[in-house]
Amino acid sequence: MPTYRPPHIAPSDITPESVYLSRREWMQGAAGFGAGLLLPQAFGADAALPTFYKSRYSTSEAPNSLREVSSYNNFYEFGTDKSDPAETAASLRTEPWTVDVAGEVGRPRKFDLASLMKLAALEERIYRLRCVEGWSMVIPWVGIPLAALLKQVEPNSRGKYVEFTTLLAPEQMPGQKQRTLDWPYVEGLRIDEAMHPLTILAVGLYGKPLPKQNGAPVRLVVPWKYGFKSIKSIVKIRLLEQQPTSSWTRANPGEYGFYSNVNPEVDHPRWSQATERRIGEFSKRKTLMFNGYGDEVASLYKGMDLRRFF
């Protein structure tokens, strides 16, 4: 059952009223899930985002509650338990914040968060997130297409890959004092994956700025890849000629490849990837090829052996 709705309505076709209605609906939805009480805690009392549009690039599946989205996290900079980031990420300082974009580009530039949010209309994108560990969630992100930022810096013909780096600050990120990974966390995409309209830089979720445990103030979201590709709290973006090595590939190249497309037919060496458990549900679901985004992204991998390029 395809749940992805193709984008035949441009953001400009959607009236502010529908945005307002949808926001009210989410607030009711959040309260209905019992997460209303968590709102002030997760976001801070005066948190606000500029107006944003409801994107057609959204699944019609019901989002997980705000409580689930903001209390069950992977963010090893704050510990390896799912509950650690929500408990300890308060020590992350997200202001001021700069994303430094350079490398194989004509116009290298440093963006603060305000200028980054002005690069394109903010959109809500309700995406499935499939963790390589075998669980999934549906998350209502708010963000801009990564392509809007890349176009600004004008990649040159040698810019074939994009490398992303998380903040390195052990005093704010206690997990970086442990050698769980080679810090800072690094991820990478091929330029066509990075430019794909489904790839976003998220600055919010559930209509508010990102909770720190979800990668504030800005993180990547690549919905057809395993969750670890969606790197959090980004400070640096580099356009490169050579394929970068991500932290997980460096840690274990036999288990985590560069592409990491969600693929129920290619098992992780230690477990099957055929099914997943949606957080909040009891029984398992079948994992969908490319996490259900195959109609949009399969052409990026035409002719590639996805067992070899896992």
Total residues interacting with ligand MTE, rule: CB under 6 A: 17
Query: Is there binding between residue 291 and ligand MTE (CB under 6 A)?
Result: no
Minimum Å gap between C-beta 292 and Mo ion is 17
Answer with the entry of Mo ion, ligand MTE, none that 232 interacts with (C-beta below 5 to 8 A by kind).
ligand MTE
> In angstroms, rounded to a whole number, what is the distance separating the alpha carbons of residues 49 and 51?
6
Q: Does 231 bind ligand MTE (CB under 6 A)?
A: yes
Rounded to whole angstroms, the Cα distance separating 22 from 26 reads 6
Give the largest Cα separation in the chain, rounded.
Answer: 51
- Residue 233 or 291: the one with the smaller Cβ distance to ligand MTE is 233
In the complex, the smallest distance separating the C-beta of residue 299 from Mo ion, rounded to whole angstroms, is 25
Q: Rounded distance, CA 13 to CA 132, Å?
A: 36
Helix locations, 126-201, DSSP H: 146-153, 191-195
**Cα three-residue angle 188-226-6, rounded to 5 degrees:** 95
- Would you say 14 or 49 has its CB closer to ligand MTE? 49
Closest approach of Cβ 244 to ligand MTE, in Å? 15
**Alpha-carbon span 303 to 300, nearest angstrom:** 9
Distance of CA 147 to the CA centre of its chain: 14
CB of 63 to ligand MTE, least distance (A): 12
Within 10 A of 226 (CB to CB), how many other CB atoms are there?
Answer: 23
Cis-peptide, bond into residue 85, ω within 30° of zero: no
Looking at beta carbons only, is 104 or 124 nearer to ligand MTE?
124
Counting contacts by CB under 6 A, is residue 76 touching ligand MTE? Answer: yes
The residue from 43, 111, 228, 259 that contacts ligand MTE (CB under 6 A) is: 228
Q: Which residues of 115-134 are buried (b: 16+ CB within 10 A; e: fewer)?
A: ebbebbbbbbbbbbbbbbeb
Our finding on whether 217 is near ligand MTE (CB under 6 A) is no
Nearest distance, CB of residue 298 and ligand MTE, angstroms: 22
DSSP reduced 3-state for 31:
helix
Site map (CB under 6 A) of ligand MTE, residues 30-59, x = contact: ------------------------------
Applying CB under 6 A, which part among 19-27, 28-36, 53-61, 228-236 lies near ligand MTE?
228-236
Distances (CA, A) of 136 to 5, 98, 184, 279: 19, 30, 25, 6
List residues binding Mo ion (CB under 5 A).
74, 131, 227-228
Phi, psi torsion values for 108, nearest 5 degrees: -60, 145
Options 20-28, 75-83, 120-128, 293-301: segment touching ligand MTE (CB under 6 A): 75-83
129 binds ligand MTE (CB under 6 A): yes
Nearer to ligand MTE, 276 or 296 (CB): 276
Give the binding site for ligand MTE (CB under 6 A). Answer: 73-77, 129, 131, 166, 185, 214-215, 227-228, 230-233
